[in-house]
Amino acid sequence: MARKVSCIVLAAGAGKRFGGRKLLAELDGVSLIERTLDKVPTELLTQTAVVSGDEAILSLARKRGFLAVENHLPEEGISRSIRLGMEALEPCDALLFMVGDQPLLRRYRVAELLEASEKRPERIIALSQNGRKGNPAVFPAALFPELLALEGDRGGSAVMQKHPSLLQLIEVPREELLDVDTQESLQALQQHRQRLGNMLQPQLTIRFYTGDKALGPGIIRILKLVSELGTLRAAADAMAMSYSNAWTKVKNCERALGIRLMDRTVGGKSGGGTTLTEDALRLIEFYEEYAKALNDEAERLLLEFSGRFFPEEK
C-alpha cells in the first residue's frame, strides 16, 4: 500500500508585529500566502489543509482544492491550529507542516524533504540552516498523539526536542528559511530578492521527439488557446499563425502520440466549435508540471554549480 502523506499549512497567526494580515502582504506583487501555497508539492501529497482565521486566505485555499480549516482563536497558540488541521484530515502515515511566511522557500526543496521522509519514514525530517532546525518539517504517524497533545504556543519544535534521536536535518541556503515578522523584514527580503534578480536565471524549453518533434511549448499554447477561444482558427489567429500550420502541428502531434486532441462540433445555436479531449487536457497538465519540475531542478543546479565554481562575491 502506498504511503499517505498530508500537509498542514499554518496560516492563522495574527501578525501583530507586522501590523496585521501579514500573510496577505505582497512580495513582488504576490502575497506571502500565495507564495507558500505555490510551494506545496500536491503531486506527492494525499491532502492539504490550510488553517487560518482570515476568510481571504481560506478562499485562496478553496480555489486550489485545499481543505480550508477555520481557526478564529489564533490567540490560543499554534497548538490549536495544529490540532484543527489534524482533525480535518483523513488518516495518513506522515504529516508535512508548512508556515505561510517563508516566501523564498523553493518548491523542489519541499519535495526533497518528502523524498527524504519516504526513505526514513520513522524519522522527523526538517529543513535547517547551520544546524538550526526550521520549517517545513515532516512528522511520522507515531508522533501524532504528541502533536495533538500540544498546548498553548508550543508547536512541532517541542516534539522534536523530546526525540532528538529521530530528528534528521536537511541543510538549505539561509534565504530559504527567512521569515517575515515585521514590515522591515519584508523590505529586507525585497532588497534580497532584487539582488537575486541580478543572478543568471535558467529557463528550459521542453520538447519531446518520436523521430520528428512531437510535443513542445507551441502545441501546448495552441491547445490552451483552443480551450479558451473555442476554435482552432481563433487560436491560430491569436498566435499570428496560419490555420493550416496550426492544423498540421496538431495532427502531427496526434499521430506521434497516438491520441486525439480535439473534438469538432458543427452547427447548432452556437455555430459549432472545437473542444479539447480528456487526453489533451491531461497532456497539458503533464507538460506544465513536468516543465516546472525540470526548471526547479535547473535553478537548484545553478545555485550548486555557481557556488562550486565562483566565489560568493562574484
Same domain, 123 and 89: yes
Grid cell in block for residue 17: 508585529
Same domain, 101 and 129: yes
* Predicted pLDDT at 104: 84
Q: Which residue would you say has higher pLDDT here, 54 or 292? A: 54
Same domain, 78 and 169: yes
Domain end marker among 197, 222, 244: 197
Domain ranges, residue 236:
200-314
What would the pLDDT profile of 194-215 be if each residue is shown by its tens digit? 665 556 667 788 899 887 778 8
Give the CATH number for residue 65: 3.90.550.10
Displacement of CA 198 from its chain's centroid (Å):
24
* Predicted pLDDT at 314: 47
**Residues 6 or more apart whose Cβ sits within 8 Å of residue 223:** 250, 261, 262, 276, 280, 283, 284
Q: Is the pLDDT of residue 83 over 70?
A: yes
**Count of structural domains, the chain:** 2
Same domain, 66 and 166: yes
83-92: average pLDDT? 96
Same domain, 130 and 231: no
Place of cell 503531486: 43
Residue type, position 30, single letter: V
Domain end marker among 166, 197, 228: 197
Mean pLDDT across the chain: 86
Same domain, 50 and 134: yes
What would the pLDDT profile of 8-29 be if each residue is shown by its tens digit? 999 987 667 777 788 888 887 8
Domain end marker among 165, 197, 229: 197
Q: Percentage of the chain with pLDDT > 90?
A: 47
* Predicted pLDDT at 279: 94
Q: What pLDDT band is residue 4 in, cutting at 50, 70 and 90?
A: very high
**Which of these, 1, 157, 20, lies nearest to 79 by C-alpha position?**
157
Comparing 15-24, 52-61, 90-99, the range with the smallest average pLDDT is: 15-24
